[in-house]
Amino acid sequence: MTSTTAGASLVLRAVRVLDEAGGFTGPVDVAVTDGTVSAVGKDLAVRPSHRDVDAAGLWLMPGIVDCHAHPGLPSFDAFELLRTPLSLRTLESAQALRRTLEAGVTLLRDAGGVDAGVRDAVSRGYVPGPHLQVSVLPLGPTGGHGDGFLAGPALDCTTDYTVPDYPGRPPFTVDGPEEMRKVVRLLLRSGADWIKLMATAGVLASGDGMFTAELGAEEMAVAVAEATRRGKGVMVHALGGPAVRAAVEAGARSVEHAVFLTEQDAALMAARGCTLVPTLAIYHELAAHASAGELAGAAAERMAQVAPKLGEAVAIARAAGVPVALGSDFGHRDRHGRNLAELYYLTKAGLTIEEALLAGTAEGAQLCGVAGKRGRIAPGHAFDAIVLDEDPGDLSCFLQTGAVTAVFKDGVPMSPHPHLAG
């Protein structure tokens, strides 16, 4: 099966459909012609070339857009990564992509770790996976988040285990505006769809890393200018502090995580049309690990500090009118396939059910520059869709796998469903 074949032509009868406002319609028909939704309405008349499918009792949504995931980063164990051949890393990312697609994600924005070759292999149908927009490598300063330096005895250790080196791979530690200009150009040459910047430390970092800006405003401004010149966007990892404002002022399209978002930051994001991608699921999992005693000293303390704040940023963003899009931040191999849990956590953070469903679909499509083509079940949109056998209710069904019973990508069924087979 390839994902680039002209999609199927079919009509789903009497299915409930997620509408523009994030609610589900009563039973309607959805006609799909050559992989694109051609009509939504009652008692649609279609050509005999369309397969007629009784979908009564089923619920239909656009495929989920995960705006922040790492299918290319399978483990946090440095020594495992150091021992892993590049071929194994690449093929494992294919497995992660298949599981992510089967979970219901039909468009994924890589936040670092997936190169253009993997994206193109998926679009050519060599391996199943969501449509991909890739950032290839996350850029940060020497000694910053993502550097990966291992201090050891008699060892000037490579950092090229986090994203293994290969011919043509740009560097991922960047110091100073001119180096940033060069590396961004190298990334764009290598086929990056996005530039990903690491502007603060990670959530488990020691010290004041969550608030200290690791990249300067000038470095971020150069990255945005170079990306914009080629029509590409910049996404910025920033947990809080002045880096958030600097990222937005530089022209970032989205700020990632932003656990410590302030009302002032949010007002600026709203004014600039910058999207928040809060990545709640991963933090809730880390908080659970911390409270179960599974994180070591400083990391556990960090999570204890962060856990009570989880979701506050979403509430602040919502009040300010900042667009919120779904991002799972799933990278580790244990997590792929449970990406839709983020929908539930968005409601826990204060989005309505309707807003959470739109954050996972239309808002993601908007951020990824494909609004009008993906992210809705409406005429003219690609039939990237998921099927549920039951009303998703309060969205807690997405905390486990299994709620999504069929996935379509460009009209092509990617997983079998007993009602929809044929």
Spell out the residues 6+ positions from residue 351 whose beta carbon is closer than 8 angstroms to its own. Answer: 314, 318, 324, 359
Toward Zn ion, which CB reaches closer, 234 or 414? 234
Residues 6+ away with beta carbon under 8 Å from 26: 16
Taking CB under 5 A as the rule, does residue 96 contact Zn ion? Answer: no
- Residue 139 near residue 183 (C-beta atoms within 8 A): yes
d(CA 365, CA 205) in angstroms, rounded, equals 32
User: Helix 177-189 crosses helix 217-229 at what angle (to 10 degrees)?
Assistant: 30
CB-nearer residue toward Zn ion: 9 or 254: 254
Least CB distance to Zn ion at residue 68 (A): 6
Tokens standing for 13? 């009868």
In angstroms, the CA 150 to CA 129 distance is 33
Applying CB under 5 A, the span of 22-30, 153-161, 326-334, 385-393 interacting with Zn ion comes to: 326-334
Question: Could you say whether residue 69 binds Zn ion (CB under 5 A)?
Answer: no
By CB under 5 A, residue 111 contacts Zn ion: yes
Assess 342 for contact with Zn ion (CB under 5 A): no
- Antiparallel, parallel or unpaired: β 28-33 and 10-17: antiparallel
By C-beta, is 8 or 111 nearer to Zn ion?
111
Q: Which of residues 358-377 bind Zn ion (CB under 5 A)?
A: none
* Candidate ranges 10-18, 107-115, 190-198, 381-389; the one touching Zn ion (CB under 5 A): 107-115
Please, are residues 270 and 321 in contact by the beta-carbon 8 Å criterion? Answer: yes
Does 329 engage in binding with Zn ion (CB under 5 A)? yes
Q: Give the span between the Cα atoms of 345 and 288, in whole angstroms.
A: 14
CB of 120 to Zn ion, least distance (A): 22
Query: Nearer to Zn ion by C-beta: 111 or 325?
Result: 111
Least separation, in Å, of the C-beta of 324 and Zn ion? 16
Q: Which is nearer to Zn ion, 70 or 417 (CB)?
A: 70
Which positions from 178 to 217 touch Zn ion by CB under 5 A, shown as an x/- string? ----------------------------------------
DSSP annotation of 182 = H
User: Is residue 152 helix, strand or coil?
Assistant: strand
Q: Are 52 and 37 in contact (CB under 8 A)?
A: no
Judged by CB, which is closer to Zn ion: 37, or 236? 236
> Which residues contribute to the site for Zn ion (CB under 5 A)?
111, 329
